[in-house]
Amino acid sequence: MKLRVKFSKHGVLRFIGHLDVMRYFQKAIRRAGIDIAYSTGFSPHQIMSFAAPLGVGLESNGEYMDIEVRSLTSAQEFVDALNAQMADGIKVLEVKLLPDNAGNAMASVAAARYTVAFRKEYYPFFLNSSVVDNFMSQEQIIVTKKTKKSESTFDMKPYIFECLFQEENCSITMTVDASSANNLKPSLVIRALYEANNQEFDDFGLFITREETYTNVGTADAVQLKPLGAVGSEY
């Protein structure tokens, strides 16, 4: 049986990298006595795949991994058994039974929704709804994306599905492309917003939380986003 597991990641564990999170779950699954399936061959490993890796320093309420199990009593028993092995900071939220034809979590990722809050000493007093709306009303938002090996300039606006200023808690919510081909980091959007308003930017001032991860159930030209956790059924 294929299962999709949703979990959150908070507190000091936000500084744990993706590979360590993967190893952590492998050990927790063994300790929980979950009847997980293993690959065949000379070096069998747990059949497990994660959706979009979360950047170090980011918190999340919407992380996903797919696993295969050979038996399952109930979804609630699975959640309770795994949470009993979790350290403070990681919590399993739900599990869904996937249909046989479901794509794996990593290949299914199309977008992610984030909340960007600001540390008190770095709060941008220039920000308000009008500033964010004017930023998004531009025909193009040209930015330079740097990696360890290259530097490229591109228009990021097609990859921002939504960007709003939240007056009640002075934060920004955004939904951006998170696919393997066009993954857009929320910090790059905030950097462009600062530069568009001639403000100095320091990404240390950001506190970013991934709220949800989505798949596209529409087409490339007519995107319809659906949470990865909405795929599958209760067990």
Pairing label, strands 59-68, 2-9: antiparallel
Given a contact cutoff of 8 angstroms between Cβ atoms, the answer to whether 38 and 45 are in contact is yes
Q: DSSP alpha helices (H): ranges in the chain?
A: 18-31, 75-83, 105-108, 129-136, 186-196
pLDDT digits (tens, 9 = 90+) for 93-136: 999 999 888 888 888 999 999 999 999 899 999 999 999 999 99
User: What's the mean pLDDT in 139-163?
Assistant: 89
Q: 104 Cβ partners below 8 Å, 6+ apart?
A: 49, 66
pLDDT of residue 144: 85
User: What's the mean pLDDT in 198-226?
Assistant: 92
Write the DSSP assignment of 215-235 as a string of letters.
EE-S-SSS--EEEGGGSSB--
Res. 233: pLDDT tops 90: no
For helices 129-136 and 186-196, angle between their N-to-C axes, nearest 10 degrees = 100
